[in-house]
Amino acid sequence: MSTTLSGLQKPGNQWAYIANSEPAVIAETLVALANSDGGWLVLGVDADGVLGALATDDEMADAVRKAERMCRPPVRTLDWQQRDVAGGAVAVIRVERGGDLHALEDGRVLVRHGAENAPAGGDVIERLLASRPVGDFEVQPVPGATRDDLDDDIIDEYLELRQKRNPRQAILPKDKLLQQIGALTEERTPTVTGLLLFGKEPQFFMPQCRAVFVKFADTQPRGPEGGLGYGRREEFTGALPLIIDRAWRVIWEEMDKRAVVKGLQRQEETEYPSDAVREALVNAVAHRDYRITGRGIEIRMYTDRMEIISPGGLPAHITLDNLVEEHYSRNPRLVNGLYQWGYIEELGLGIDRMIEDMVKAGHPPPKFECPGHRFTVILYNLRDQTRATEPWESSMNERQFKALEFVQQNGSISNGDYRQLCPHVGAETLRLDLVDMVTRGILLKIGDKRGTRYILK
């Protein structure tokens, strides 16, 4: 029997129709809606308006409750509404977009694709993970882990450095402080934060918590003999502080170094500015998405560049365009832990300092890429040996470098051009950037009012 459902939309991405009360079928649609944008599930009628077998409210409610328990984690349903139609009644159920990634008992992950429930592939799953908040993930207890899985020597070192950084802070019992920073639950079970920062062997529970260094003998992935391969490969495991220290030691060993004389002093000059490399490494460890399994941090050293690749795209509202101006932490507890440890000197300034150090040493600014579901920092060692670095270059911000590149390519830049280059920055801030470059003799202002343009001086 076909019927017209007044007030309901056609089947689509947010509207699903199921004629029967089979929990397994309902569970598939709950998972698909929760993994997408949420929506409405209509029970008792199919997508063509054909009523299913009559079911009481209790029977439908019982079927939905069973379906909810078949989802991992369970999907919450809200706002039940009954609609009377010719020949029976249907239930309209609101399904919220999930804060977590949902799967079925058999491990399948589904999303809505038009009016269908479609299986999600690896790339889709990674994008879904990137769009979910991860604050709660940091304090989730790790199944199977106990207090004995935390290394007290690492904890004691952390507590000592934390106290030096905050000498006026009250000294709490060790486990009480671990609970306060989200490393331990009240039941003394290690959380994700606890294992990552202090675990004896966190990779036993989270295999993705690792980093790999690979050195190539060319600008392409080739080994010393010219064939595909690498010259050196090292894998780093352990708690995050140990991964940072071990990875940095290998990077330092593999960087070219040379002695230079400045004034009367002999100094060692490295292939890349040390502080810039450490910032890129620490950022990758602190900000990667640890929910993504099967992929660790990769450090690739080529003859002309170093690439540090971090699983997980840019979080929340951060884009490649506003990366320098905006600051957002995917893992706030991990970031604060590394800050207290001393690996992060000043919160929110890592990217700025990386750019400044590279330019000050005569290198191109770092290049940032976000292909697919990973974030890559590329540091080039192409130091320009033909000229000395101008004093003003070390104090320019990333926006001003963009403006200079635009002028070099196009001959001049206007306020409108600059706003298009930096769409997430206020007009007054951009105007002051240009005024600053005019004051320092970098640009020359020509024209007036709407005809104002800036050229290289």
* Strand duo 71-72 + 77-85: pairing: unpaired
Pick the CATH number of 121-384 from 3.20.20.60, 3.40.50.300, 2.60.40.10, 3.30.565.60: 3.30.565.60
Greater model confidence, 444 or 210: 210
Mean of per-residue pLDDT scores for the chain: 83
Distances (CA, A) of 400 to 225, 372, 404, 418: 43, 28, 6, 9
Element (H, E) at 404: helix 398-410
1-57 pLDDT per residue, tens: 444 455 567 888 888 998 888 889 999 999 999 888 888 888 888 877 777 776 677
Residue 135 φ/ψ, nearest 5 degrees: -55, -45
> Which pLDDT score, from 0 to 100, does residue 276 have?
93
- CATH T-level topology, domain 396-456: Arc Repressor Mutant, subunit A (1.10.10)
Identify the DSSP state of 195.
H
Average pLDDT of the residues in 46-73: 79
405-426 pLDDT per residue, tens: 888 888 889 988 998 888 878 8
Average pLDDT of the residues in 262-291: 84
Most confidently modeled range among 110-124, 169-183, 315-329:
169-183
C-alpha span between 257 and 277 (Å, rounded)? 14
Q: Which residue blocks in 199-341 are alpha helix, DSSP H?
A: 240-254, 274-287, 332-341
CB 68 within 8 A of CB 76: yes
Q: Is the pLDDT of residue 264 over 50?
A: no
80-131 pLDDT per residue, tens: 777 776 667 788 888 888 777 788 878 788 999 888 999 987 667 767 766 6
> Which pLDDT score, from 0 to 100, does residue 209 have?
94
188-206 pLDDT per residue, tens: 999 999 999 999 999 999 9
138-165 pLDDT per residue, tens: 889 999 999 999 999 999 999 999 888 8
Most confidently modeled range among 128-132, 233-237, 324-328:
233-237
Tell me which amino acid residue 41 is: L
CB 88 within 8 A of CB 77: no
Q: What is the dihedral of CA 144, 147, 149, 152, to 10 degrees?
A: 170
Element (H, E) at 94: strand 88-95
SS3 state of residue 224: coil
Which residue bears the tokens 């020509």? 446
- CATH T-level topology, domain 15-120: 3.30.950
> Which pLDDT score, from 0 to 100, does residue 266 have?
55
Nearest C-alpha neighbor of 85 from the set 139, 124, 44: 44
CB 142 within 8 A of CB 189: yes
Tell me which amino acid residue 304 is: D
CB 104 within 8 A of CB 110: yes
Question: Which tokens sit at 251?
Answer: 């990077």
C-alpha span between 393 and 400 (Å, rounded)? 10
Q: Which residue blocks in 36-170 are alpha helix, DSSP H?
A: 57-69, 122-130, 135-138, 152-165
Note the residue count of the chain.
457
Question: Which tokens sit at 310?
Answer: 């971090």
> Which pLDDT score, from 0 to 100, does residue 260 have?
60
Per-domain boundaries in the chain: 15-120, 121-384, 396-456
Identify the DSSP state of 282.
H
**pTM assigned to the model:** 0.60
Q: Is it true that the peptide bond before 332 is cis, omega within 30 degrees of 0?
A: no
Question: Which tokens sit at 356?
Answer: 């400044």
CB 14 within 8 A of CB 53: no
Which residue bears the tokens 């029976």? 88
Q: Is the pLDDT of residue 388 over 50?
A: no
